Every structure is written in C-alpha cells, then in structure tokens.
Structure 1
Amino acid sequence: MFAQLSAATERLSNAQLSAAVALKDRALRIHISYLVQHRRVEDDRRTPVPGMTVAPAAVTPAEDIWTPLDWVLTVTCPDRTCRRILVVLAREADAAWGGQLSLREIAERAGCSVRTASTHRAHLIDAGLLRATVTAVHRPSGHVDRSADRYLILSGQVAPGASWEEDAARDVLARIRWWQGGASEERQRAVWRILRRMRNGWPAHELVARTDIEPARTVVSRLRLLDKLLPGSDEPYVIPAREAATGIAAGPVFCAAGCGAQFPHVAQVRPGTVCRDCRTETATAHYAQAAGAYGTDF
C-alpha cells in the first residue's frame, strides 16, 4: 500500500487503492490509519512522509513452519480482529489444523463480543482463510440441537481444476455408506454431481468425508441429501493451510497399528491414532502377559 501511495501521480480514491492492493474498504481504512499513526503517511491519508520507508514483510521459509500458529503469523488478515480470532483458532487447532469452538468460546479467547466474533469469522471465511461447518446434535427425543461449529484453517489458495473420468466419481459414490443400491439413472445423476466437484478441484477424500454421516431418519431423497452434503456445484476448493505450509496433503487417516482401518472423519482424528479393535487386542495381550507373570487371572 505504501508503495502504491508513493508511486501515485495523483490522489487515489479508496476504490482505486482497494483494487490496487486487493483489500476491502474497511481493511484499507485500518491499514491507512496504521500508516498515519506510525508517521509513514501524512494526516491527509494519501501523502507519504518524505524520507520514510516501509520494510517488506519477512517471509518465513516453509521448513520453519511446524504449527498452525507459525503459519498464521505469516498471513495477511483483513484486519486486527480477524488476526486475533485466527490466532485463537490456531492455538486450539489439532494435528489437522482444525478443531471445534463455539462463537462464545472464540469471543472469550479473543476478547471481543459474540457478535464481533461472528462478523470477523465471516470475514475470514470470505477471505478463504477459514472453513466453518455447522455441527448438528440429534437428541433421542427427535429434536436437533447445534453444537460448537467445526473449523479448518485454510490457505486462501484455490486449487486448480482437474480432468477426471466418471470411474473416479463412481469410486467416491461407492464409499458413501448410506447410498445403497438405487436405480441406474439415479446413480448416474449422483456420479455427475460428484464428478463436477472433482473437476472443480475437490479431492475424493474430502468429498467422502463430507458425505460420511449416519442419517437420523430414513432417507427419502438420496439425491437431495447428496446435494446438501456436497459443496456448491461451482464452489472452488481452497487448499488447507496445513497442506500449503508443510506440503503434507490432507487425506485419509489410517490406523497407526497397520491393520488398514480408515478413520472416516479426517479432521477429527490425529495422525498416529490406533483404532478401537487394535487397542482392544493390545490391551488383551497386556492383560494376558500380566496374568502369566503374576500367575493369576485378572
């Protein structure tokens, strides 16, 4: 922004400056105020102070980024409140750089109101730095409550489209547990829906994770439920921050014991987790070993 102001031969309007530096109007005003406060720009908010410069932001090498917080500190956020909220989410993130926090919890940790947290979380989503998913809780009474939203920190980088054949989409459909049988025409329409998302850059494991649910009631229209679970038909896939920063692509998480079991919800499972069956077998072996050592049954 300072470079744009220094190079300008005439006074730039807010709209012109916003377009030049790719910032929204409110974020632009905040950054200009910061430059005025630190005596880089005169009080007219357009004239650079003679002799003053602005040092370029330090670039953190990818090999030095190990945690979500490391990455967040290198990101340009829309404004200061957005940065505080993103720092809070990074500190609470799991190994997949995601987690689960309610708006009230975010507001308490960021030192702002719930309404402010909601507004600025929406700014982060619009900027491609965050994905938030509503978590529904189905009660035995039939009521549906809302739990804390799940989130995933994103990089803001849109994945390029890819050329996929229908066989790849059929493989995704075959991994959707609640889709059983169905007429050939209905299955073909489902394949086309999945194929369109894959050609927009969405990876197969992400589509499987989004559709991996246990319906609370009998599914009346499978195509309608599929449309509800899949991303929008023209929605681009924004690369997760963990993949962009570390080069480790998100994907299926398998049992660390090597049995081949796959955890369905990638964002909820830490790499290195052992599945329930393997934990049971390990515990049984330990009990048997202890019983043999002490000469007694447990």
Structure 2
Amino acid sequence: MAQHRAISPDDCPRCRQVFAALEERQIRDPEAEITTREIGQAAGLKERATQVHLRHLFEHSRIDADRRTPLSGVGQPVLPGAQAWAASVTAPDPTCAKCLVALAGWGWDGQVDVKELAAMAGVSVRSVERHRPHLVDFDLVRFRSASIPAGGGVFNGAKPAHFTLMSGFYARALNDAERAEVPARAAAVIDRVRWFVGVTEAERELAAEAVGFVLRAGWPDEAILKALDASEDRNAFNPSGYLHKLLGKLRGKRYLIPAQHMFTGAGAPRVGSCWTCKDAVKTTKPEGSKLWCGGTYCLNAGTVHDTSTVRPIHRTRTA
C-alpha cells in the first residue's frame, strides 16, 4: 500500500482501469449514478480495491471530489462554494476530511443517506458511521434525524438525516455598543413572533428580557426567530410558557456559526433599515453593515422620505 501511494496513478494499471471506467460512464451518461461496486465491476476489481484506487486518483487530482468525475489538466481542481470551504478545513483525520468534502457535495446543508455519503467519499459505510461523530465533536457538521410520520404519533421509519455544515467557530461576545442595543432588538424579535398574542404587557416585557439574555450570548435575531417558529400561525394555549420553553433550548448555549455564513460573509436573512430613508430592508449582510433599499442606493432618495440632512445616494437622469 505504501508503494502504491508513492507512484503516480498514470503508472498504476488498476488506477488507469478505474479512470477508464469513469471516462466511459462520463461519455455514455454523465447524469447516471454509479456505485463503487459498479465501478469495480467495470474495472475488474473488488469494491475495497476500487475505493483505494479512487482515493489515489483524487489525491493526485485525476478525479473530482465526488470520486466520479474524471478531470483533465494538472493541479488540484478548484471546488465551488461548500466544497472549497471543506477542502480548506483541517479535519480530525484524513477519513473525516474525505467525508466532509463529500458531504459538501450536497451543498451547505441538505439531506443525505449514509450509503450515498460512503460512495461519494470512497470509503465504507462503517467508516462513515465511525467518523461522523468526530465531525460533530469538532463542530464541523450538525445532523438532525428525520422520521416518517404515520399518523397518531406513530412513525414509519426514518428518512436520510438532515445536515448543516458548521464553521467550528462560535459567535464572539457583544461589545458595549451592541449590548446597549439588545433591549430594542429583543422587543423587535418579540413583535415578529406571530403566535405570541393575547398576553399582558408584563408577560411581553418578561419575554423580551428572556430573548435579550439569548441575544447577549451572541445569537443573531433570525436564528432566535427560527427557533421560536416565528412565522408559524399556531394557537398556543399558553403563549408565554411556550415561548420560554422554546427559548430554553438556546439558553446557556453559545451560537455556533454556520460554515456558509463564515465562508461567504453573509449571515442568515434578517430585516434591517435603509441607511438613507430608514425603510425596512431584508438582507443577509452581517449586523453593522450599511444597507440601502435599492441594494447599492436608496430608492427613496430625493422623495418625501428624504431629509435635509441626508444627501441623496442616487438620482435618475431626467430628459
């Protein structure tokens, strides 16, 4: 095995057989799925040997990270988006690194079966099951189980698990200026929870205080709203109690930043204010960024929304 790692895939007859099988499949039907066993059958190899040669081809940039797409040219392929991030991460071990890059082939988040992940990574299902907890422990992936409801509180099996790629970094502590904004942000979060109605003013203030506690721990507004099912129309028997129950899942925990937000610089969708006219603007830019309702300019500059102290950002040319 050590001798095999030391040679080029071009000098390995079995690597060439595997590569030829991938090229034939690419020409015949590039959209068709092909398993490691099927590649081995086409190359005259057993499944385990096929995995070894697929890994060797990938390590020498002969095939893409999906272990199925043959590449031409020299050098490591440039991987888009999630795979570019995964390829740059220092994983706990080489097998974890393969699983992470393969998982990123589905995007920043998605749903994947363990057998599909094993085939994509070029490893066995057992290896995936053994190394998947390592990725979770290193805060690189979060998995959520998905059951198939059969009605009456009964479940009929499970679907492939949902996953989200995580950056491994937690949100920083708020500075003094940001902490001063917490009460207003907390009140705005409560106002956007559609089912939090029919409560007293005292209950609303207590709810805002509870949200403020989570905000001070670094949780962004949109992540809290998602945890509170803010957009759902539901009839909560005890809205205040239900809100505190949901917040209890976040209280005492730090916010782990998703990999997409760290890599792209864009956060979860949130509502901010236009820097010029103060109209509401939906954005994914981080807190503190200057926003305009027209993207790079204010749509209302020079209208009744404008003020004498604000210089219009954009004006249309008139004939």
- TM-score, length-scaled by structure 1: 0.52
* Aligned residue number for residue 153 of structure 1: 165
Return the offset for 1:244.
2.0
Deviations 1:4-40 (A, max 9, x none): xxxxxxxxxxxxxxxxxxxxxxxxxxxxxxxxxxxxx
| C-alpha spacing 1:234/1:70, structure 2 compared with 1 (3 Å) | same
CA distance in 2, matches of 1:148, 1:228: 25
SS at match of 2:196: coil
- Contact 1:211 1:230 (8 Å CA) reproduced: no
Where do residues 43-58 of structure 1 align in structure 2 (5 Å cutoff)?
none
* Aligned residue number for residue 105 of structure 2: 91
Among 86, 101, 110, the residue aligned to 1:72:
86
SS at match of 2:136: helix
**2:264 maps to amino acid:** T
CA distance in 1, matches of 2:244, 2:124: 36
* Aligned residue number for residue 241 of structure 1: 259
| C-alpha spacing 1:111/1:220, structure 2 compared with 1 (3 Å) | farther
Runs of 4+ in 1 over 6 A off after TM superposition: 213-217, 260-263
CA distance in 2, matches of 1:217, 1:176: 10
Among 161, 185, 189, the residue aligned to 2:206:
189
CA distance in 1, matches of 2:234, 2:191: 21
- Contact 1:207 1:230 (8 Å CA) reproduced: no
Return the offset for 1:231.
4.5
Return the offset for 1:115.
5.8
SS at match of 1:166: helix
Is 1:117–2:128 an aligned residue pair?
Answer: yes
CA distance in 1, matches of 2:223, 2:192: 12
- Contact 2:227 2:246 (8 Å CA) reproduced: no
Return the offset for 1:229.
6.4
SS at match of 2:88: coil
Point out which structure has higher relative CO (alpha carbons under 8 A, 6+ apart): 1
Among 81, 92, 96, the residue aligned to 2:95:
81
CA distance in 2, matches of 1:199, 1:143: 39
SS at match of 2:263: helix
- Contact 2:173 2:217 (8 Å CA) reproduced: yes
Return the offset for 1:76.
0.4
- TM-score, length-scaled by structure 2: 0.49
Return the offset for 1:81.
2.4
CA distance in 1, matches of 2:159, 2:246: 19
Is 1:133–2:144 an aligned residue pair?
Answer: yes
What is the root-mean-square deviation of aligned Cα atoms in Å?
Answer: 3.7
Return the offset for 1:87.
1.1
CA distance in 2, matches of 1:186, 1:120: 46
- Contact 1:138 1:216 (8 Å CA) reproduced: no
**1:77 maps to amino acid:** A
SS at match of 2:257: strand
Is 1:178–2:192 an aligned residue pair?
Answer: no
| C-alpha spacing 1:69/1:126, structure 2 compared with 1 (3 Å) | same
SS at match of 1:153: strand
- Contact 2:236 2:242 (8 Å CA) reproduced: no
- Contact 1:88 1:110 (8 Å CA) reproduced: yes
| C-alpha spacing 1:228/1:71, structure 2 compared with 1 (3 Å) | same
CA distance in 2, matches of 1:152, 1:84: 16
Return the offset for 1:149.
3.0
CA distance in 2, matches of 1:217, 1:138: 20
> Which ranges in structure 1 are unaligned for 5 or more consecutive residues?
1-63, 254-259, 264-298
SS at match of 2:160: strand
**1:131 maps to amino acid:** R
Where do residues 35-46 of structure 1 align in structure 2 (5 Å cutoff)?
none
